[in-house]
Chains A and B, each alone.
Chain A
Amino acid sequence: MAQVLIAEDESFTALALVDALEAQGHEVREAADGAEALEIMGEFQPDVLVTDLNMPRMDGFELIRRLNARPQGAPPVILITGLPRSKLPADLIYQAYLGKPVDHQALYALVNRLSAKAG
């Protein structure tokens, strides 16, 4: 099973994702924004990062930029956002995209695939 960090400011969405992934047997931690995600990653090394883009304090763009700036780089990133994929900046580094509301079956498949690669 994988370690998954979810960065999502909307509580119901975050809770639904946590429940869904935990039900699949994954170890899941939750952050309300990018800054909290960075704090959690000080003690929790996720195999996969599931992150929203529009968040208060630190948004997903900045979170991904800072993670990629680390010597060890960023974990595989699954974007969950209301922004259409076509409107995402070209220089944004991520491995997968899921539009909101999230298709849980697709999320399970992506987490499994990316965590397997990371492992």
Chain B
Amino acid sequence: MDSFTRLLDTHGMLPHGFCLLWQPGLLALHVISDLVIAAAYFSIPLAILAFVRRRTDLIAEHRRIAILFVLFILGCGLTHVMGIVVLWRPAYWTDGVIKGLTAAVSLITAIALWPVVPRLLAVPSPEQLANVNASLMAEVAARRTALEELGAVRANLEAEIQHRTAEVQALARRFQIATEGSVVTLFEQDEALRFTWLHNPRPPFTRAVLGRTGDECLSAEAQAVLRPLKEQVLASGEPLQAEVALPMDDHTGHFEIRVTPAAAADGSTGLLVAAVDISEQKRQQDHLQVILRELAHRSRNLLSMVDGIARQTAKAEGVPKEFSQRFGARLTALGQAYDLLISHDWRGVDLDTLARSQLAHLAPEAGDRLRIEGPSLDVGPETGQYLALAIHELATNAAKYGALSELGGQITLSWRRLEGPDGAPRIEVTWDETLDRPMSEAPAGRRRGFGRLLLEQLTPRAVKGQASLVFEPQAVRWHVGFPA
């Protein structure tokens, strides 16, 4: 109470106006100035408070500084109010206390302000913010442009994907149409040989195999055939093709199997298998074999019948017996060539087999005097027939008049494959017969007979090649060359 009384105590003190001699002009100057200053000092805190209240994003430190400034300026305003009061009323204690409080607040504000200065300095200026904003705007614009470009690229990609998808779908449709109902079954198996995909299922590869391994859904006999093939492809990484026979419920199915390594989505290696059911083709091949065998049988019977007719005709007409013998022997040579061609499905015959077949009846007696040399080479049916007849003719002459007769000598029948003048492959067959002593009797080939006709004209014409026949007293050489 005493302190409050003292604050209001003016006893013995003079108003400040005395110092100004109560001059009206001077008093007015002070009063007006202090009023304006006080008004300004009271309005500034209001502005600061309004600012602080609206800027909700201000950090606590800045907010505290703002409050201190509010108090400090408010205190300053009050000191100017007190400056007016003390002109007429000497409340210097009150004025002093207010100044003291203002001084305390000023000091606290000053102390609090310095540490904040560096952080306030770090706050970007409006110009900096404008620059940053401008660069941000530029960046945003660049991003927007990039986004637009990306959008265009994406649109192109989507169009491309749609195009490719349409192509893939069309391809899949064609694939579906081409293989649906065909004899081709396609399936995929993973690393553990589990069926993962199946297209156009046909026994024994039915829908039931999906999700199972071959061991779980195929017969042990079928697995014994298929499993080694698949394991070989998995181990080697190389595709493999094989023809296999698989036991079915009531028959044996024949398949052309192609096994190819295929990468699975998880990176492991699986298999893509194409199984073409060739059972019908096989059945037709077998049927054709039967027909070919029957044809061969009938052909040989027909040749035999022709041989019989020729012999009886010759006998009735008084033709020398030698004619029947040579004619029959030629038919036999032709029949032997037929045998070989039939056994090779009329696709051709190996020269070595052909030569040995025609010379078999002479080989035991000829021994080392007869040599057959040459690589494994196949010739066509037409060529095979004529070469058989030619070899037969030469061998018959050799047995009667040449190296395989009592004269003695050496025969080498050889052949080789070589490149012709035009670069096309050719085959050359050579009969090289040398005699120990000169021939006393002219061989049939030396005359203008069947043998010479066959060797010099008919055979080269049939094989589309060239031939030469040379007779010397102690040698017979026949050479024929033709396209391979």
Chain A residues near B (Cβ < 8 Å): 10-16, 19-20, 54, 80-87, 99-106
Contacts and interface: CB of A to CB of B under 8 A. Distances in A.
A51 to B, nearest CB: 14
Contact of B303 (A14, A20, A54, A101): A101
A19 to B, nearest CB: 7
Interface in B303-333: 303-309, 311-312, 315, 325, 328-329, 331-332
Contact of A106 (B299, B309, B311, B361): B361
Nearest to B327: A101
B301 A16 contact: no
Given A103-B332, A106-B361, A10 B304 contact: yes
A102 B309 contact: no
B311 A10 contact: no
A44 to B, nearest CB: 23
Given A87-B293, A106-B361, A100 B300 contact: yes
A100 B308 contact: no
Which of A103, A105, A106 is the most central at the interface, judged by chain B CB atoms within 10 Å of its CB?
Answer: A103
Query: Closest 10 interchain pairs by CB?
Result: A12-B308, A82-B300, A100-B304, A82-B297, A16-B308, A101-B307, A101-B304, A100-B300, A101-B331, A103-B332
Interface stretch (B126-134, B195-203, B256-264, B335-343): B335-343
Contacts of A105: 325, 329, 361
B37 to A, nearest CB: 136
B296 interface: yes
B283 interface: no
B441 to A, nearest CB: 19
Contact of B343 (A10, A15, A19, A84): A84
Contact of A104 (B303, B328, B339): B328
Contacts of A86: 343
7 contacts: A10-B308, A12-B312, A16-B308, A81-B297, A99-B336, A102-B332, A103-B332
Contacts of A106: 361
A10 B297 CA distance: 13
B301 A82 contact: yes
A99 B309 CA distance: 18
A59 to B, nearest CB: 12
B298 interface: yes
Given A103-B329, A103-B361, A15 B308 contact: yes
A84 B305 CA distance: 17
Given A11-B308, A19-B315, 12 more contacts: A10-B308, A12-B307, A19-B311, A83-B293, A84-B342, A99-B336, A100-B301, A100-B303, A101-B300, A101-B303, A101-B328, A101-B332
Nearest to A9: B301
Contacts of B293: 83-84, 87
A105 B400 CA distance: 13
Contacts of B307: 12-13, 16, 101-102
B297 A83 contact: yes
A34 B363 CA distance: 34
Nearest to A80: B304
A99 B305 contact: no
Contact of A82 (B296, B331, B361): B296
A102 B332 CA distance: 6
Nearest to A17: B308
Nearest to B295: A82
A96 to B, nearest CB: 12
A101 B336 CA distance: 9
A82 to B, nearest CB: 3
B299 A82 contact: yes
B296 to A, nearest CB: 7
Contacts of B306: 101
Contacts of B339: 84-85, 99
A85 B342 CA distance: 12
B297 A54 contact: yes
Contacts of A11: 308
A16 B339 CA distance: 22
Which of A10, A102, A105, A106 is the most central at the interface, judged by chain B CB atoms within 10 Å of its CB?
Answer: A102
Contacts of A13: 301, 304-305, 307-308
A104 to B, nearest CB: 6
A84 to B, nearest CB: 5
A92 B361 CA distance: 23
Nearest to A23: B321
A19 B315 CA distance: 10
A103 B328 CA distance: 7
A70 B34 CA distance: 162
Nearest to B342: A84
B325 A104 contact: yes
A85 B297 CA distance: 11
A98 B36 CA distance: 149
B12 to A, nearest CB: 158
Given A12-B305, A12-B312, A16-B308, A82 B298 contact: yes
Contacts of A12: 304-305, 307-309, 311-312
Contacts of A15: 308, 311-312
Contacts of B300: 81-82, 99-101
B343 A82 contact: no
B119 to A, nearest CB: 108
B331 to A, nearest CB: 4
A103 B304 CA distance: 10
